[in-house]
Structure 1
Amino acid sequence: MKHILLLLALAASIPAFGQQAWTHNTRQLQRSEVDALLAQPEKVLILDVRRPDEVTAKGSFPVYLSVQAKDVEQQLSFIPKDRLIITVSNHAHRAGAVGDLLLAKGYQVAGATGSEDYEAQGGTIKRITPPPAKISAAPAAAAPVADAATTALALSALAALP
């Protein structure tokens, strides 16, 4: 019986090891809170503070303003002060730090969420399919094009070689 209780205690503590303690003044939002805020789109702005490759790989909300966490302070003029802001990162820690910055600058911050946390709680995240890479045509000067007569002449010269 002691072994079973010990195993149960260990199993219950495993998720806590993977999570950082919340140290931000910005409130960490749960899925139900985010959904309630999203039900009022005219009042809310989602500010995704991840890198573009993270947004592409992990997905995000259907509509959001994308400003990387490292650039937020320089881009404050693009962030409206008349909206309630939800900051987003993968697991909300960068979002919490950005939320704290915005609060200090006088913005209305509802809280922070992580797109992965939101999805794990049953929320729907939109994945973005990146467009296929385009192969650019080589400049004309870099690759001269031979006409049919030049090609025939070159082939006949090769055939004449011993």
Structure 2
Amino acid sequence: MKKGIFICLIAVMFFACKSASSTSSTDTTLSKKLDRPTQVALKGNWVLTNVSYPGSDYIKVNSFDLADSKCFIGSTWSFISNNNKGSMALTSPSCTGFSSPIVWSINNQGMFILKILDAGEKAKKVRDGYLLKVAGVTESSFQLIDNINVGGQVKDVVYQFQRAN
């Protein structure tokens, strides 16, 4: 009997000390508590107007595992805050076109959680996504900031959004 209780205590401690998921996993408890006011502020249609790499203007970035970051300039994004769905479309004439439904949210730590869905795919089936910091939110603009590793150094990739007319 004592041995059974001891095993149960060890099992409880093991599961209670489980390490946090990696930042690429979007099925974490981070997405359970949301920053609703910021989500409502982002509701609507947006155009990604610039991509920059402060202090590292000569790097090439493959954004969201889809295309060169410069291909995202001019892309259109739609965010629906009441159901955390939306869409994005790459429209640059010098790049391959791409469009996809998305699922997004902003957790209470200011992290933008993004899942890019394939046609007909349900968001709950997509385990991986992207975590970006939300910054500079105004009525007409905001930024998403990604961190990438370049030669062992962490660099920012800043995506600048403007509200579409």
TM-score by length of 1: 0.25
Greater strand fraction, Structure 1 or Structure 2 = 2
Greater helix fraction, Structure 1 or Structure 2 = 1
TM-score by length of 2: 0.24
Larger Rg: 1
